[in-house]
Structure formats: C-alpha cells, structure tokens
Amino acid sequence: MVSNLKKRTFVLIFILLFVLSLLSLFNRTQYVNAGVNDLEYIFENDDIFNESMPFSNSTFNLRDSYEYTQEYNATYSFTNDENGENPSGWIITENGNSFVNVINEKHKHNKVVEMYYDSGVPIMKNDWIDDIMYGTFEWWMESTDCTNKILVYIRHDVANAPISLFLHVDKWQYIDNTGTKDVPNVPIPIDNEWMYIKIHFETTVGAYMGLSQYKWKIIINGIDSGELNLRNNEPMDEFYTQLETDDDYSVFYDGIGYSWDTFYNVNDNIVPIIDYSNSNQEINKCEFAYNITTIEPNKTEYPTINNEWIETDFDNEHIKTGIESEGEISIDYLNDHTHQFGIEKEFNYNNNGIYNVSLTTYMANLYLDTKGFNFNIYTYDDTLLVRLRIALDNPITKVYYYDGSSYVYLYSVDDGYFNDLIFNIYIDSFCILELIEVSESINTYYFPKLTNKIGINTIEFIGDVLASSTMDIYIKSIGFYINGSSYLPHDLSSLTINTNIDNWNDDIHNLFYITANGTFSLSVEYDEVIEAIIFPLTFFNNEMKVFHYVESEIFQGSQPYTFLILTNTTYQINTIQVSQVILTEDTNEYFMEFEFEGINANESYFYVSSNRLYFTLNVISNDTLEYIRANFNVENVYSSDRSISFHSDFNGDSLGIFGLDYLGGKSRFFLFPNYPAYKNVILHQGKTLDNFSITITDNNYNETYGISTGYIYNIKLIYVPDIEVTLLTTTLIRMLIPLMIILIPTIAIYIEFGKDLVIPMLILMSLICYVTNLIPIEVFFIIMLSCGVFIVENYRGRERY
Amino acid sequence: MSVEYEWLIGVGIMFGFAFAMSYITYRTLGSFFAFLLFFNSFVVWAELLPLWTLVVNILIVTFMMYLSITSKRGI
C-alpha cells in the first residue's frame, strides 16, 4: 500500500514536473520582444446604421474634361509656317514698310497671319487650282482698327471681282452690279476682336446653301446678311485681300477654309481643335453637369432644389411640382394664368474663356396651348449674355434666340416631346447652339452674343404660361463647362448640395449616389461636429470602399457610379460637397474594401461601433453563394517574424473565414470560431502579405438563416523575433489549462478513491470546462467518446478480472 | 524550433500523457488508446496535429471497442 502510494505520488509529481518543465521551456510571454507594427486596425467611429434610405436623387456627372487648343482646323491654319515668314502657299506683296508675316499667337489663336500697313499696301492672295462655281469660304479675321479699310476680293480677274467686300469705317460694304452697298444685318465689327466670317456663293443653278443663281451671302459671327448680288457672274479662282488706309494698323487672319478642299469640311474651323490626349481629372480642367432634384416629392409648393436655386415669381396656388422620376422635377402649369416659375444658379465666374452651357429638358405636354420657357445666361455683372426662347406648340418645339429687341427664329423640333432635348451653347466670340435630341445632334446654329462682357455669373431657367391647361417640363440637367481656360474657380469644380434635411433620423444611415467618372473628393459638414464615416459603395463594380473620415479630412474616391452611405446619429447634415481633384499617392496606405456577392447590400453590411467592426448578414436565398467580405489591403508587409491577431465573436448562423493572401504564395484560410475568441495567426514566413480578408457567408447553401451578426476587433500585426515559439506557447497554454483542470482533480480523486471515480471525474471536469467555454463542443464530444471507451474497457476489465 | 516540427510536440504530448495516464490508472491497451483519443482531441484543437489524426484515432478506438465487445475477453 505504501509503495503503491509512493509510486503514485511519484507519478503525479512527475506529471506536474513535466508540465512545469514544458511551461518553463517555453517561458516567454506572448509579447516579450514583440511589437505591434505596420498594422493596427482600431475601429474608432461609434456610428451605427441599421437601414438605409435615399435622401437625394442627385447625381453629379464629373466627366472627363478636355482642353481646346488654340489651333483651328482649316485649309490654311499656318501651323507649320515659320514665325516672321510669309505664309506658304500665298502670294505676298509688301509695299513700303508693310509686311505679311506669320506670328505665333493673337488673342488665343495660335499661328496667325498679320498684315501690317506702314507706308505701303500689303497684299495677300491665294490662287485656287480650278475655277470654283459655288462653295463656302470661311475664315477668322481681326483688325486693330476697324475704321481702316480692308479689302477682300473673291475673283477671277483683277477687275470687277464677283465678291468685292470691304470693312471700312466700322461697317461692312460690298459692291454688286449696281454699286457699293452696306452689307445688311451683319454685326458691327469690333476692334481687336476676332470675327468669324463665312461666305457662301453660287454661280450655277445648283442652289448651294439655298442660294439662288448668281447670289452670295456673308455670315459674320452667325448673323446672316441674306442673299446678295454678285458683282458679276464669273466663276472664281482667287482669294485676294489687302489693306488700304494709310495708317498703322494690323489685320490678322487665321483658319482659312475652302469647302472645295477635300480635306476640309464647312464649319471645321469654328471650334478650336480639341486635345484629347490629356484627360486627367485636374481641378482646372473640370466639367460638370448635374441633375436637378427635389427631396420631398409631391409638394404643392415650388421645389427647393438643394438651396442652390432661387425661385422667381411663383404663384403658390397655381403651380404644382413634384418628382415624377428619379433625377427630375416636373413643373405643372395649371389653368389660365400668366406667370413665371424659374430657377437660377450663380457661379461667379469672372474669367474670360470659351465655355459651354447646356440645358436638358424633357417635355411632356398634351395640350395645344402655347407656352414656353427662356434659358438665360448672364455675365459676371449680370448683363444678359444669351437668351434662348423655347416655345412649346405641341408637338412642335420652336427655338429662338433673343437679339436684344426681338426673338429670332432658329429651328423647329417636330417631335421634341417625350424625348430628351439638349440645348448645348458654345460661347466664344459668338454663340453656337447645338440641338441634340435623343443623343443625336439635330443641327447647329449661330447667333450673336448680347454683350461682349466676360465671365458667367448666372444661369437661369424661366418658364411661363400664356394660357390654360397643363404643361410638364422635366429639367434633367443644366451644365456649365469650362474649356481651354487656365484657371477654374474652386466653386465651379465642385457641387455643393445643401440638403436641408428634415428626414435624417437617428440610428439609420442614409444613402445617396455620386456618379463620378473620375477622381473626386468628398467632404461633409455637420451642424456642429465635423465627423462622420463615409462608406462609398461602387455597386456596379461590386465593390465597396471605405474611407475613414476624421474631422475635416477630405476623402477621395475614384470610381464611377459611386454610392455613399452617410452615417448619422444625432447631427443634421447640412452640406455635402463633391469636387474634382487629383488623387495623390500614398494617401491610403491601408484601406478597406468591401465586397458583396449575392446579397442585398442594404441588408447585409459592415459597420463600426464601439471600436469593433460589426457585420450583419441577411441570408435569404437557397443554393446561392452569398457573402460579404472586408478586404484589408496592407500592401507588401513582409511576413517573416510576424503574426496577425484579432478578437472575434461570431454566432453560429454564418460562416466566418479569415483569409490571408501572399504575393507569390499560397493563400491560407482559417475559420472564425463560433464563440468569443482571440486568434493569433502566424503569417506564412518568408513571404509578403498582400491582403487579408474577413468573409462572412452562408454556411449552408441549402437553407436561409435570416440575419446573423458578429464582430471583429483589435486586428494587429505582431512582430516577434521567434514567432514560431510564441505561437507554440500560445496554443500550448490554451490547450494545457483546460487539460490540467480536467486531469489534476481526476488524478487526485483517483489517488484518494481509486479508479472507479476516474471516469465520472473526467466527465464532470470536462463538462465544467465546456460550460465555461474553455473547450469547444468538439473536444467535449471526443472526451465523452473516450470516456465511453473507458466505460467499455472498465466493464470488460471487470469481466476479465 | 521551426513551425514545421510542431507536430512532434503534439505527438509527444499525446503519447506521453496517454501513456502516463494509462499507466497510472487502468494500465491496459484499451485505456491507452482511450487516453490517446482524449489527448488527441486537445492536440488537434491546438492545431498541433491535423484533424485526420483524430479521425484515425476514433476509427482505431471504435474498432478496438468492437473487438472488445465481440471477443468477450477485453483488451
């Protein structure tokens, strides 16, 4: 008995010593000689969102911008001629001290010809190969002094040129078969300003450009002189020009185009050549258009369009507006009132430059009464620059421009209803209106500006009703584009939405869309606290990016069709500003990307609360892969001597997978345990960690589970010089603690009471460890199985003995 | 010690504890395998050994139980 007791005691002591020696052999704490570096994800924001609702249908089309060069495509653009030399292909006569030379630039036209009068007549002429019976001759011209004479002949012989044109004493004159006359209708020339001159002529019966035989016309800055008589009826083969007044003055020529030039088309030289090579989304090359929306549908008041637009002359009783579909407003004009409803936008753009302004409308008018609207553009000091009048006479849409005293008819769109109709106005020295219907260009028209003042301050849409019944106009977009300017004010490259939100509620997140075809930045201002998490989602690319927004930091996204979720618990969101900037490098060294597959992103998502990354997964489909995934792009973290650790708590309805992706290495996956756990995963040594991910998915394709939740926190990258040993220590400690709890009491009971109580003691201590979560159910089950073997063994042993 | 050899520790723990416990208590082959299964569950849980070792162990133990029940002799 004593020797048995000694033997047993010895064995017990041996076991304890063995265990202690194991512990002492690997006696390093987890973090001795370790450091957390390069990565530590702390989820700081405390906003929780539970559902989403769209608060705005505004989409902001930040498009690729391109720059107009100062080159004009023409038969003669002088691009390759040397500065200071005569233009090639032209016969030049330089009398006295006059000259005809190519110069580098004049008023945003590159490479132009300067004719200078000084003590002699300068002459420039170009002989055509053949006699031209009809055609168009068009060019740009500018004079330093329009009181001094410029002669332009288009002729066959020296005498009696069929087209004899003069610019003299601030007016245009011509000579026909009856004598010298003023050219009717055309605008008064202005010193030091480019004029665009177009001459159509017809000496046959072909009715070129609608001309009768032996007629010509001149169109200056879009103003048509009407038919004029040729001086004689000969075909022409030469363009000739000279300066005559004995005074120091210069006349400049650029972009001379002949319609009979096979490489030239009429109107090619109106707009400068566009440089498509540089399409970076730089702030000074930004274009944007935006759709006008209202926030609250079916109002009986005028729409508050983001507080950026101001209403004029509104009659509450007789105008009803509302949202008919996304991104649009409709204006219903009711019953027999003449009144106006308008919206305007101020830009405060004071720079000179070429710009386009566009208006997109969709008209759905079922009645025959005459109504219409004006589209007005004002310069920097609110001088009227352009006015288009669109008169609606169902089904015909008639377009006019305002010349300062009356409306001049331009065009009728026969079927302008129930289609998107775009009025695109290009504004330079004069205006070019391009009408686009259903994405196809209908036609292009030219008309003068009402003023030569620069800049744009206000764009305005004013509708009016002249008679009874209802008219519906959907204003789909108003755009303002700057091209070729070297500076774009910040407010033009950004779009500010004043939300005036009444319907932000606590504990919900709000979804709105930013469509950005390039790089943009986003900032959000709250009433009091400038702090939010913004989750941009790119549903079309099935990605979601998360950018952590702290205080006034600006976030940047770079995907089109980006949707945003703004989280808000207690604060009123006032302003959301989107502006276009260049995405600089190294701004997002580590960032999270979210993926979705097969699930509704509004019902399954990640969110942050109490420093934890929570997830909600709503599994609703059978036989379908459904998951949400958070990808952590860590970018080239060297994996040797490193592990990654985290805490997690998943419930059992979903499957959590922790994935590690290595550059040039095999990916590894671990399952999240379905209980609160801490996990420290050694990285694959000698590799480069590129990305790790947390995937939450349906753990059974064939069932729907509804909503499952869980969270992860304290993701850290740990550096330990001897990481394998540290891992071993961790796992050993985790295993040995419950093992000791089970074995030591069992051995003690065995020593005291013999082997009859070994099995019950094993069972009891195992149960205690399972209930206290020291061991998982799988281990507990195996323990029970082994106890069953003991029972069988014990039974058989008794039988044998 | 390299990570590649951690399974040795797992095997050592498993067999060492199993032998020790079996020796202390029942001192039979059956109890040895039962304790082997017992400790195998812990070692697999600690990821020192792969899961298939547990499966093999269960199969062995099950087979031995079958033999024990059918042979009337015990193991």
pLDDT, position A729: 61
Beta-sheet pairing, A99-106 with A371-378: unpaired
Is the sign of the CA dihedral A581, A583, A585, A589 positive or negative?
Answer: positive
From chain B, the residues in CB contact with A786 under 8 A are: 34-35, 37-38, 41, 61
CA quadruple A524, A525, A530, A536: dihedral, nearest 10: -20
The amino acid at A49: F
From the centroid of its chain, how far is CA A526? 23
From chain B, the residues in CB contact with A787 under 8 A are: 34
Nearest-angstrom CA–CA distance, A519 and A780: 55
Nearest-angstrom CA–CA distance, A272 and A255: 10
pLDDT, position A495: 36
Out of B17, B33, B68, name the one closest to residue A796 (CB): B68
pTM, full prediction: 0.43
pLDDT, position A456: 77
C-alpha atoms less than 13 angstroms from C-alpha of B56 in its C-beta half-sphere? 7
Nearest-angstrom CA–CA distance, A542 and A799: 68
Instruction: Give A151's strand partners.
Output: A166, A242
DSSP state of A776: -
Contact check, Cβ <8 Å, A782/B69: no
Question: Which residues have CB under 8 Å from A405's CB, separation 6+?
Answer: none
Q: How many CB atoms lie within 10 A of CB B12?
A: 13
Give the length of chain B.
75
Q: Cα dist. A128→A75, A123, A230 in Å?
A: 12, 16, 19
The amino acid at A360: T
Taking one residue from A and the other from B, the number of pairs with CB-CB distance under 8 angstroms is 111
Contact check, Cβ <8 Å, A682/B3: yes
pLDDT, position A415: 63
pLDDT, position A452: 81
The amino acid at A65: S
pLDDT, position A551: 25
pLDDT, position A788: 85
In chain A, whose CA is at the least distance from the CA of B25?
A755
pLDDT, position A177: 86
**Helix, strand, coil shares, percent, chain B, to 5:** 80, 0, 20
Q: Check if A725 contacts B (Cβ < 8 Å).
A: yes
Q: Check if A783 contacts B (Cβ < 8 Å).
A: yes
Contact check, Cβ <8 Å, A727/B3: yes
Interface test with B, best of A28, A724, A782, A794 (most B CBs within 10 A): A782
Tokens of A391: 């008169």
- Contact call for residues A252 and A141 (beta carbons, < 8 A): yes
Q: Check if A775 contacts B (Cβ < 8 Å).
A: yes
Out of A14, A724, A755, name the one closest to residue B26 (CB): A755
From chain A, the residues in CB contact with B48 under 8 A are: 731, 735
pLDDT digit string (tens) for A369-383? Answer: 556 778 888 888 888
Provide the shortest C-alpha distance from residue B44 to chain A (in Å). Answer: 9
Q: In which residue ranges of chain A is pLDDT below 50?
A: 2, 24-34, 36, 44-65, 279-340, 366-368, 466-470, 484-521, 523-590, 800-801
pLDDT, position A151: 93
The amino acid at A4: N
- Contact call for residues A287 and A358 (beta carbons, < 8 A): no
Residue with tokens 């695109």: A424
Tokens of A253: 């020529």
Q: Check if A796 contacts B (Cβ < 8 Å).
A: yes
- Contact call for residues A36 and A717 (beta carbons, < 8 A): yes
pLDDT, position A674: 81
Q: Check if A205 contacts B (Cβ < 8 Å).
A: no
From chain B, the residues in CB contact with A796 under 8 A are: 30, 68-69, 73-75
Q: Is residue A751 left, alpha or beta, with left meaning phi > 0 and alpha meaning psi from -120 to 50?
A: alpha
Q: Is the peptide bond before A395 cis (omega within 30 degrees of 0)?
A: yes
Instruction: Give A330's strand partners.
Output: A322, A474
- Contact call for residues B10 and B43 (beta carbons, < 8 A): yes
Residue with tokens 């019950």: A760
Give the length of chain A.
801
Is the sign of the CA dihedral A445, A446, A450, A455 positive or negative?
Answer: positive
Contact check, Cβ <8 Å, B41/A728: no
pLDDT, position A510: 38
Strands (E), A291-395: 319-322, 330-333, 340-349, 354-364, 371-378, 384-393
pLDDT digit string (tens) for A111-162? Answer: 999 999 989 999 999 988 888 889 999 999 999 999 999 999 998 877 778 8
Provide the shortest C-alpha distance from residue A731 to chain B (in Å). Answer: 5
Nearest-angstrom CA–CA distance, A493 and A470: 37
Which of A513, A519, A556 has its CA nearest to residue A538? A513
CA angle A303, A304, A306 (to 5 degrees): 135
**ipTM (interface pTM):** 0.90
Provide the shortest C-alpha distance from residue B9 to chain A (in Å). Answer: 9
Q: In which residue ranges of chain B is pLDDT below 50?
A: 1-3, 75
Q: Cα dist. A326→A200, A333, A537, A699 in Å?
A: 47, 20, 19, 38
Residue with tokens 């926030």: A295
Phi, psi of B5 (to 5 degrees): -110, 15
pLDDT, position A704: 62
CB contact residues (below 8 A), chain A span 1-60, against chain B: 8, 11-12, 14-15, 18
Out of A12, A776, A786, name the one closest to residue B45 (CB): A776
pLDDT, position A436: 75
